[in-house]
Amino acid sequence: MMLGAGLLAVAACDSAKPDAAEAKGKAAATRDWTTMIVATPEGGVRMGNPDAKVKLVEYASFTCTHCRDFHLEASAKLKDGLVKAGRVSYEYRPFMLNGVDIVVAQIAKCQPANQFFVWADQLYRNHDAWVLPFTRIDPATIARVQALPQAQQLSAYAAAGQFDAWAKVRGVTKAKFDQCLADQGAFQRLQAAAQAGQEQFNISATPTFIINGTRADGVFNWATLEPKIMEALK
């Protein structure tokens, strides 16, 4: 955060250090931290104060109905309350359970970082509308897709599930859509990040929550997560 010359001058005076610290604390408290969104080296996207006392990570699948339910129940409470105030940072790390997850996560991660949570919100709020066409893909189409060169398979599978049309309504052109899904580097990074999370935290289901680097066991919804966050904030 850029500070004005006056604040810099005050901060340089030893006798004024408590006031400078207090001013910094007030600035952090009044800032809307939900506007601070960055991609992380671990393959996720983080919203919030990087110096928040509680750092919450969610490993989640876009096709997972439990993840959808958590998002719809907790999004406003978590982001508009704790994250916005700078007390908690929230990082979403895609965890792929199936081929549809790979398609959707790769398209979502292909957007600018500051648009990722907009996409996540749309995906969860319209969950059934875009998942259902994938369930109707027939075996012959699956076989045809699998016979294609690897760089073309995701795009063909997504088109068979009509996800290209869903994305087009949200501003993703066909050319951009195909380009995102043909990016083998992005595909490998997604897979590597999920594998690293699985190895580090022994993830076997979604959603899985990590609080300050430790897996929160027995947590599957906001009612079970909130008490653990509040305990960590003490």
Question: Residues 25, 37: one domain?
Answer: no
Question: Tokens 């996540």 belong to which residue?
Answer: 120
Question: Residues 25, 94: one domain?
Answer: no
Q: What is the band of 204 on the pLDDT scale with cuts at 50, 70, 90?
A: confident
How many Cα atoms occupy the beta-carbon half-sphere of 140 within 13 Å?
0
Question: Residues 185, 87: one domain?
Answer: yes
With b meaning 16 or more CB within 10 Å and e meaning fewer, what string describes 41-78? eebbbbbbbeebebbbbbbbbbbbeebbbbbeebbeeb
Question: Residues 199, 155: one domain?
Answer: yes
Question: Residues 91, 204: one domain?
Answer: yes
Question: Residues 108, 22: one domain?
Answer: no
The reported pTM is 0.85
Distance (Å, whole) CA 206 – CA 59: 6
Q: Is the pLDDT of residue 17 over 80?
A: no
Residue-range definition of the domain harbouring residue 170? 33-233
Question: Residues 217, 142: one domain?
Answer: yes
Q: What tokens appear for 106 in the block?
A: 């790769």
Question: Residues 220, 151: one domain?
Answer: yes
Q: Is the pLDDT of residue 2 over 90?
A: no
Question: Residues 206, 167: one domain?
Answer: yes
CB-based burial label for 83 (10 Å; 0-12, 13-18, 19+)? buried
